[in-house]
Amino acid sequence: MQLGQLKGGSAKTLLLVSTSTLEEMLRKGNVWYVRHYEQYFERVYVAYITGKPHEPVTVGKTSLVSLAFGRSNKTNIVLAAYRIYRLAREVRPTIYLTADLVYSWWTNRLVRFLIGARTYLMPVCIPEEIYKSSGLSMSSSLPIWLERLFVRLSFASADYIVAGRHTGKLADWLQSSRLPRRKLIVVDTIVDELPSNGFFRNLRARRGRDSRRIGKSGSFVLVYVGRLHKEKLVEDLVRMMAKTKELCDYGIQIRLNLIGEGPEKTRLERLARELGVERMIKFVGSIPNEDLPKHLLDADVFVSTLTGTALREAALCGLPIVAYNFDWIQGLLKHEETALLVRSGNYQGMASQVLRLVCDEKLRSRLSQNVRVLAEGLWSPEGLRESLSQAFGGWLD
């Protein structure tokens, strides 16, 4: 990284820190959702603390910067506090923001004390839900007991904690916890809930030209978008497909498109062969975020085990949803009104709900219309500036 390439901060400068890798985010193509912050901040810097070294990438007012050394992730995290401080000294951020619940107590310390930036934590998940569903820590490297301690330290070190009003149980969970509650700011919309500007542009272009119907691609198409990681429970979707094969007698071919990459791909392919459903599942790979509307609008149902922004993108496309009823989905999506919901881990129940949609066109149409109305009211760029002002305006307006 050449810090001299970056301009110093102005009155409203955001430093957003991520534990993802810059090369991975550029490859996935959804990294530019961060440009929504430009509605409020004059400069936006996104720092990635793991992965490999990478030259800064700037589009508009937003710069993506790799702080990684290219060594192990442990080394990158240990050095992150100092590397973030060096970047902050150049860009002079007024706000430090991260969604990282595990390491932010460590990575923000020099910026807080030496730069004087206000530090914000914006959780996007409930840790205990992850531990319960996957048996793994969020970091996949720390024992759960130690990660719980780090999460408490991260809450303690943040000046403020921000949550979206419409993120299911997340805001309620933060309200119920003594330490986060004292620092909590709840807003209508957060940037992390929104797809990129390119996604919205292509969705508008496609809308009106597509009509959702069974068999428009020769079969009934299910789609999943997300990382192929163990904690995402994608294995359940493969087992779900085996169950649909066993139960389906409607004379129609059901297919599943898995959009995304990850270390579980080889194991999932092997499981599909063992269960005899390898011809029913297509591993599509990563798709740029702006190209997702085409893939979603060409599908019939979105299936979600543990999905974040991708589920919102499916809803914006009016795609009927079958999902596990936990994490932020609980309390937001309503069974048989905006989605078909089943208990987490019940892939047999998910298969049954998929088969309901195969033969019930009225149900598909009702879910499609209702979830699209919900999504357009919650997850569109309109009104975002007001939420950003509510979150950060106490210091900057």
Amino acid at 188: D
Find all residues with CB under 8 Å of 314, minimum gap 6, and list them.
223, 225, 296, 302, 304, 321
Domain holding 78, by residue range, is 3-194+381-396
278-300 pLDDT tens trace? 999 999 998 888 899 999 999 99
The domain total for the chain is 2
Do 228 and 240 lie in one domain? The reply is yes
The per-residue pLDDT for 69 is 84
Do 176 and 313 lie in one domain? The reply is no
Min mean pLDDT across 97-101, 177-181, 377-381, 387-391 is at 377-381
Q: Is the pLDDT score of 1 beyond 50? A: no
Q: Is the pLDDT score of 215 beyond 80? A: no
Do 149 and 202 lie in one domain? The reply is no
Q: Is the pLDDT score of 3 beyond 60? A: no
CA-CA-CA-CA dihedral for 242, 293, 305, 153, to nearest 10: 150
Do 207 and 232 lie in one domain? The reply is yes
Report in angstroms the alpha-carbon separations of 264 from 129, 153, 198, 228, 322. Answer: 21, 31, 29, 5, 22
Percent of the chain with pLDDT over 70: 92
Do 163 and 220 lie in one domain? The reply is no
Do 94 and 119 lie in one domain? The reply is yes
Phi and psi dihedrals of 44, rounded to 5? -130, 125
The per-residue pLDDT for 208 is 57
CATH code of the domain covering residue 338:
3.40.50.2000
- Say if residues 289 and 309 touch (Cβ distance below 8 Å): no
Sign of CA dihedral 154, 181, 138, 34: negative
Q: Is the pLDDT score of 270 beyond 70? A: yes
Question: What angle do the packed helices 235-247 and 265-274 form, to 10 degrees?
Answer: 20
Angle CA 237–370–163, to nearest 5: 75
Do 158 and 257 lie in one domain? The reply is no
> Mean pLDDT for the chain?
89
Do 181 and 258 lie in one domain? The reply is no
- Say if residues 111 and 87 touch (Cβ distance below 8 Å): no
Phi and psi dihedrals of 23, rounded to 5? -65, -35
Residue appearing with tokens 């730069």: 115
Do 103 and 157 lie in one domain? The reply is yes
150-179 pLDDT tens trace? 999 999 999 999 998 877 678 889 999 888
Q: Token pair of 211, please?
A: 């009509």
Do 304 and 292 lie in one domain? The reply is yes
Do 371 and 227 lie in one domain? The reply is yes
pLDDT band for position 335 (cuts 50, 70, 90): very high
Q: What is the mean pLDDT of residues 240-268?
A: 88
Q: Is the pLDDT score of 2 beyond 50? A: no
Do 221 and 178 lie in one domain? The reply is no
Q: Which residue has the higher pLDDT, 71 or 192?
A: 192
Q: Is the pLDDT score of 394 beyond 80? A: no
